[in-house]
Copies of this chain bind each other. A is one copy, B any other.
Amino acid sequence: MPKVRVHNVTVSLDGFMAGPNQRLDAPFGDGVGWGDELHAWFVGAMEDLAAGKGGTDVEYFARGDRNIGATIMGRNMFGPQRGAWEDESWQGWWGDNPPYHHDVFVHTHHPRPTLEMAGGTTFHFTDESPDQVLGRAFAAADGKDVRIGGGAATIRQYLSAGLIDELHLAVAPMLIGRGERLLDDLGAGIDGYRVSELVGSSTVTHAVLVRR
């Protein structure tokens, strides 16, 4: 049966995915730059993979793209705007040819027309429930798995509802101190999960959560 998976989510040692005040010129909030300390392992794994190198980080990183047929994300992961769209010219952080190459469902209270990008990525904007969106994503994935891309709030929403089968996170050797936490306020939902892997590399510690 196809699964719902989350991969390559990086958190600080104190559990944060981002600092406070996420915005256009600081997508990961105050004090956290893309490619900095928090995501250095990710950038390194991308480069190593491209260079044909292996290693623990590369193995975990590469798992994230295997057998994925559709992606779900929150509106904040799609872009920095909040509330009603001021205009619809924003097409995501990823340029003309986003690295998805499949259907991407964006949770938003402010739907807008479907956006077809180069390379096979199509962004759908929806205010349906996670259950409903998951149904559409499984249909689009056509037998493959569905990935929840993020951000923290969206992952938490699916996790607390018990809708995620597998969640891979990387714990980075830094402290953020405040902002958006991943494993927080999950209610009884968290009781349905256990840690199946905890593996240190030279850069981070990889952990995998699966259902009990």
- In-complex Cβ contact of A183 among B14, B197, B199, B201 (8 A): B14
Which residues of chain B are within 8 angstroms of A174 by Cβ–Cβ distance?
Answer: 194-195
Which residues of chain B are within 8 angstroms of A205 by Cβ–Cβ distance?
Answer: 171, 198, 200, 205
- The answer on a CB contact under 8 Å between A177 and B190 is yes
A194/B175 contact (C-beta < 8 A), A13-B183, A199-B200 known: yes
Which residues of chain B are within 8 angstroms of A200 by Cβ–Cβ distance?
Answer: 198-201, 205
- The answer on a CB contact under 8 Å between A175 and B183 is yes
Kindly identify, within residues 172 to 212 of chain A, every residue whose CB is under 8 Å from any CB belonging to chain B.
Answer: 173-175, 177, 183-184, 186, 190-191, 193-195, 197-201, 204-205, 207, 209
Whole-angstrom CA separation of A163 from B173 in the bound complex: 21
Does A29 make an interface contact (CB < 8 A)? no
A residues contacting the other copy or chain, number (CB 8 A): 25
Whole-angstrom CA separation of A175 from B13 in the bound complex: 15
- In-complex Cβ contact of A204 among B175, B193, B198 (8 A): B198
- Please, which residue of chain B has its CB at the minimum distance from the CB of A209? B175
A175/B190 contact (C-beta < 8 A), A13-B207, A14-B184, A15-B14 known: yes
Binding site for B on A (CB under 8 A): 13-15, 171, 173-175, 177, 183-184, 186, 190-191, 193-195, 197-201, 204-205, 207, 209
Which residues of chain B are within 8 angstroms of A184 by Cβ–Cβ distance?
Answer: 14
Which residues of chain B are within 8 angstroms of A175 by Cβ–Cβ distance?
Answer: 183, 190, 193-195, 209
Which residues of chain B are within 8 angstroms of A171 by Cβ–Cβ distance?
Answer: 13, 171, 198, 205
Task: Give 15 A-B contacts (CB < 8 Å), ordered by A residue.
Answer: A13-B171, A13-B198, A14-B184, A14-B190, A171-B205, A175-B183, A175-B194, A175-B195, A175-B209, A177-B186, A177-B191, A198-B204, A199-B200, A200-B200, A205-B205
Whole-angstrom CA separation of A200 from B13 in the bound complex: 13
- Please, which residue of chain B has its CB at the minimum distance from the CB of A176? B190
